[in-house]
Structure 1
Amino acid sequence: MARKIRNEGDSHYDFDLFVIGTGSGGVRAARLSANFGAKVGICELPFHPISSEVIVGVGGPCVIGGCVPEKILVYGAAFGGEGEMDARNYGWKVNEKVELNWKKLLQKKTDEIITLNGIYKCLLSNAGVKLSEGEGKVVGPNEVEVTQPDGTKLFYSAKHILIATGNRAHCPDIPGKELGITSDEALSLEELPKRAIVLGGGAARFLVCPVYS
């Protein structure tokens, strides 16, 4: 049973808590707060299977553009899984000659991301959290501005504001950076590159290597 934490003096706010960002931390904070009786709002950039600075979707960078898609591709690229049928589902042609259908593997990754995005939305909805799609910005001590995809601006007041935006991949400011891509694009290339140079030894870069190889 939810424990009511609202006070009468808080009624002039739209929300007790407003969260900017729907990654694992933001969603968890929003759901727990709502379960304890708080009125909670949350916002996130529009959804797209390939995340960027202006699109990502409910679930955050890890679910949409990081941990989850990386591990799906690593699992699929390893060939075998739980057997021949599993391999076929991840894009492998298992006949006399074993071949990888890269586009089918990418579609498998996209389908999983879309499913998880929907699950995260349901979790928020079931907890009674109000979701707004758009870019969130703190514009006052207790005020948040959400710019929707069509440019419309929404303004909400909240007793507490939680910034849970996490981080995202970016190219460092070095000569030739326009020739490179980030891990976001690397996990969604339409054609599998025959050769590639990976700069950096973080988890995302490390997982790209076995996928390409």
Structure 2
Amino acid sequence: MGRKMLADGELDKATSEEATYDFDLFVIGAGSGGVRAARFSANNGAKVGICELPFHPISSEEIGGVGGTCVIRGCVPKKILVYGATYGGELEDARNYGWEINENVDFTWKKLLQKKTDEILRLTNIYKRLLANAAVKLYEGEGRIVGPNEVEVRQIDGTKISYTAKHILIATGSRAQKPNIPGHELAITSDEALSLEEFPKRAVVLGGGYIAVEFASIWRGMG
């Protein structure tokens, strides 16, 4: 049986005249904001459900992952690449401080990408455990609002299941977009830049924000 939403941290007793729901709160999107809202509500006594698209480093309307932009295709993976890029300069600079490197030091791009992926998966699993520990029910699939208090989740196998909720929170975040300029179809976004199969020999970065500067620093630092 569903329950009424909390009032001042206490769960009111439902009467026969009041509507009942599967969840007090259902969250669409399990990024940093959605996970925080779900855990906070559950820890205060609410029955909470949350849904998120299947994991993939590059997001689309069909794929995403628990953890959202920051964990999967933002802060965390970029910082790992930034950290990896710093070693080249440090190794070269070490020669000025008495260190002699008598063997060739080779850089393997795919090994760094694997390190990045391993860390992302570790953090994604931590997010899942945090939700489970807070008794939040996690559903993997695409969530859609189909009624005033109803969410439909299309699961990986294509089946659709509907849930009712007193409150529905949309926490889907956003995706990187290409500007509508000539030749934009030849460019990539920061999502793809974090998962390139081959390290680029040359690159042009369009923009001068912090994301652009970070990628310029990463690629330059790696040669």
Give secondary structure in 2 for the equivalent of 1:22. Answer: coil
Preserved contact between residue 25 and residue 49 of structure 2 (Cα < 8 Å): yes
2:32 maps to 1:58: no
For 1:147, what is the secondary structure of its paired residue? strand
**In structure 1, what is the Cα distance between the partners aligned to 2:118 and 2:191?**
16
The AA in structure 1 aligned to 2:120 is I
C-alpha distance in 2, partners of 1:110/1:72?
A: 10
Equivalent positions of 1:74-85 (< 5 A) are: 74-79=82-87
1:158 and 2:165 equivalent? yes
Deviation at 1:173, TM superposition (A): 2.4
What's the CA shift string for 1:35-84, capped at 9, x where partnerless?
01000000000012333332121001111111110111101111179x99
Offset at residue 13 of structure 1 (A): 0.3
| Aligned twin of 1:87 | none
CA distance in 2, matches of 1:123, 1:176: 43
Question: Which 10-residue stretch deviates more, 114-123 or 192-201?
Answer: 192-201
1:97 aligns with 2:104: yes
RMSD, matched Cα:
2.1
Q: Which amino acid aligns with 1:36?
A: N
Task: Return the alpha-carbon distance in structure 1 between the equivalents of residues 155 and 22 of structure 2.
Answer: 18
The Cα offsets for residues 133-183 of structure 1, whole Å up to 9 and x where unpaired, read as 111111111111111122111111100011111111121222222101111
Query: Tell me, which stretches of 5 or more residues in structure 1 are unaligned?
Result: 85-93
1:140 aligned residue = 147
Question: Following TM superposition, by how much is the alpha carbon of 1:6 offset from its aligned partner in structure 2, in angstroms?
Answer: 4.8
Instruction: Tell me the TM-score normalised to structure 2 length.
Output: 0.84
Cα distance in structure 2, aligned partners of 1:34 and 1:18: 11
Rg comparison, structure with higher value: 2
Aligned residue pair count:
201
Aligned to 2:135: 128
SS at match of 1:160: strand
SS in 1 for 2:87: coil
Query: 1:5 is matched with which residue?
Result: 11
Is 1:110 the counterpart of 2:117? The answer is: yes
**SS of aligned partner of 1:100:** coil
Does the Cα contact within 8 Å between 1:53 and 1:168 map onto a contact in 2? Answer: no
| TM-score between the two structures when normalised by the length of structure 1 | 0.87
1:28 maps to 36
Contact 2:57–2:191 (Cα < 8 Å) also in 1: no
Do the aligned partners of 1:49 and 1:65 also contact (CA within 8 Å) in 2?
yes
After superposition, the Cα gap between the structure-2 partners of 1:6 and 1:103, relative to the gap in structure 1 and judged at 3 Å, is: farther
Partner of 2:197: 190
Return the alpha-carbon distance in structure 1 between the equivalents of residues 26 and 137 of structure 2: 9
Determine if contact 1:18/1:162 at 8 Å carries over to the other structure: yes
Q: Which amino acid aligns with 1:5?
A: L
Paired residue for 2:207?
200
| % identity of equivalent residues | 70
Unaligned runs of 5+ in 2: 1-8, 92-100
Q: CA deviation at 1:113?
A: 0.4
